[in-house]
Structure formats: structure tokens, C-alpha cells
Amino acid sequence: MRGEERINVCQAVMHGSSRILKNVRKHEEGRVLKCDDRGFEVEVGARQERWPFDDVEIKEH
């Protein structure tokens, strides 16, 4: 994920908006809970995972 996309997702989540990402390595989708300089913390079903920035892209509607 490019830097600008990453910043936009993180800002949206910090302001209470929901964002869904797709993990291109695992072929899973998850809702972003928070982000930091290491990646995104996402909710995938009933579990939480940390996904690196390089493994994700924004889910298209």
C-alpha cells in the first residue's frame, strides 16, 4: 500500500470511519481497528491480526 493511501486509511479510522482492507497474501478481508508504524491491526471474523502495509490493498466496493 502506498504511503498516501496508508495515511488516508489511518486518518479515517482515527476519526471513527470503518475501512475494509484485503490481504493480498492471505486472500482475506478485514476491518481496520487501528494502525501504527508497523502495519494495520484488523478484525477478521472473530480474530484480530496484524497485517504489514505491503500485504494489503483497499477493498473496492
**Where in the sequence is the domain holding 46, given as residue range(s)?**
3-58
The predicted pLDDT at position 57 comes to 95
Q: If pLDDT is split at 50, 70 and 90, which confidence band does 61 have? A: low
Average pLDDT over residues 28-52: 96
- Cβ neighbours around 61 below 10 Å, total: 4
d(CA 10, CA 4): 10
Instruction: Round the average pLDDT of the chain to a whole number and report it.
Output: 94
d(CA 14, CA 6): 12
The predicted pLDDT at position 2 comes to 87
Q: If pLDDT is split at 50, 70 and 90, which confidence band does 29 have? A: very high
Domain count, the chain: 1
The predicted pLDDT at position 1 comes to 87
